[in-house]
Each structure stands twice: as C-alpha cells, then as structure tokens.
Amino acid sequence: MPIRTCVFDAYGTLFDVASAARQVASEPGHEDFGDLWQTVAADWRLKQLQYTWLRAITGAHTDFWQVTKDGLDWALERSGFKDDNLRERLLALYWKLEAYPEVPAMLEALKAAGFNTAILSNGSPEMLAGAVDSAGVGAVLDDVLSVESVGIFKPAPSVYQMVLKRFGGGPQDVLFVSSNGWDAAAAAGVGFHTAWVNRQGEPAERLPWTPERQLPDLSTIPELAGDAW
C-alpha cells in the first residue's frame, strides 16, 4: 500500500530543542551559562520527557508548557543556576525554536508530491503554533495535532489514533517520523510505517516494536515516502 500521509513529531524532530539554550549561551551577560548550556539542555529535555511519561501513567495530565517549565527548573537547579532572567529568556526562546536546516525543503517536497503532511506532538496548540510560525512551515502542513485533544501524552495509543481520525484510511497509509526511538516504536505498535531519525546515533530502544527505518536526518523522507513498503 502506498503512503498517503506523512506525520512528524515536533520537538527534536522538526524543531531543535537545544537551540534555545545554545542561543542564550552566546548572548552577552550569560557567559557563565556558556560552559554548561549543553548539560542544561540535555537535562531539560530528559526531565521534560520523563514528566510526560509519569503524568500519563498516573493520570495527572497537564499541558506541555507546564512540564517544559518543570523540566527547566529541575535542570537549572541541578546545574546551580538561580537566575530568573536566564530562566525567562530560555522559556521565551522555546516558543520559537529553530527548525533543523533540512525541514522546510523536505516538507515542501512532500506537498509537491501530493502527500498529506502533519505534526503529531505532545506540545500544546499554542506552543506548536509558535514553533510552526517561527519556522515558516505552516503553508506546507495540512494539520498540527496536539495531545491536548485526547488529554494524555505519548505513547498512549489514543494519541496516534488521532492521525486516522483526521486523515482517514488505515495505519498502513501513514508514515510516522520521530527523533525519539520510543515514539517511533510506539507508532509501529499501532501499525504505522515508521522512521526513526537517530541524529545522535543512539542504541535502539528495547521495546516490543521496532521502527522500520533509521535515518541520520530528515532529508530523504520524500524519497522514503514514495518507496514501496
């Protein structure tokens, strides 16, 4: 069956979650942050994800902005930073994260080839709108789907079912792309074709499902979507 719909995770897949910390580290007045920004960015992302999982399994849902703030506060405390101005600057930049360089051309190629394109993300609608607008990719996306519609974070199966409710067809019509191995694996578990964008060269997750393809970046997604699966 040919792929009809290409769906992307947002944070870490289309948008560089480390770009906020990297930019702040280069700004005057934040010289002390320059030595630790990579550690803070990694801790921030890890705690952000961990809080989504913990809230999902305990039924204590909140929106992604809250877990983003909570994750940053944990990361800053761990690194010894108690600078409110630094915190506010990092949070402000998270609303306009940089897209990875290949993203605009990749999405444009998909649309030109006739594929449906969408984001499926833990992000709140407001956060996602900010990122999409900042990256200038709204015109090449058919929809931006947020977990707020179902009230639980990934990898709950109901999140992935949102794609089928929006675009119709079956799971075999969908190519789901994520930089998170666990996310791509969970999407494979509901029957989607999957590609894991493994930018960091990480080991595969030990889960019951395995992404079908592993890529270093998003540049070959248009060709991959057109392949026979």
Give me the active site residues, please: 9
Antiparallel, parallel or unpaired: β 213-215 and 193-197: parallel
Amino acid at 99: A
Dig out the tokens for 124 from the structure.
């709140």
Q: Would you say 176 and 186 are in contact if contact means Cβ atoms under 8 Å apart?
A: no
Order the strands of the 193-197 sheet from edge to edge: 143-146, 116-121, 5-8, 174-178, 193-197, 213-215
Six token digits for residue 155: 């990898």
